[in-house]
Amino acid sequence: MAKILVTDLFGDPVTPAPDGRGRPEHAWSLENSNKVLLAFARGLSVKEAATAIGVSVPTLRKHYSSEVGKRTDARLRMEMTQLARLNAAATEGNVAAEKELFKRLDKAALNELADRVANRGRNGAPPREPKLGKKAAAKAAAAEVSGKYAPPPPPARLIN
């Protein structure tokens, strides 16, 4: 049995402090990294991702900077990773994976078609000018008045 070298006033063993004062620094882990990437793939903000793993936003940015850098394309990368896994399983003969792969590809094709139909005829044409209301139209017409009722020109030279 190991001999206790130092005890406190009550006879309990004294364990030395690990690294000094204060709370120990957060350490990067693969589990937290995956949680952060999943949070970004789901569309959560940096603050929400930090809350999900129990750290502050500056700590998240410090220890998971590469994950934060992938924030904008996390959803697309996650979807492509899943499709690649489904394709690999379907190639090995998994019928359920084949069905799921076709289902997801059909859904993507339908979404693309819906976007094309919703935006048809607007791709090359410039956007329409918004219709002016009564007051704005009257103000524009008043600015274009010429002749006897036109506003006078500004003075040619200011005195002073």
Task: Read off the pLDDT band of 6 (50, 70, 90).
Answer: confident
pLDDT in tens, 59-99: 999 999 988 998 999 999 999 999 999 999 999 999 999 99
- Output the average pLDDT for the chain: 85
What pLDDT, on the 0 to 100 scale, is given for residue 98?
Answer: 94
pTM, 2 dp: 0.57
CA atoms within 13 A on the CB side of 36: 27
CA distance 49 to 30: 15
Amino acid at 139: K
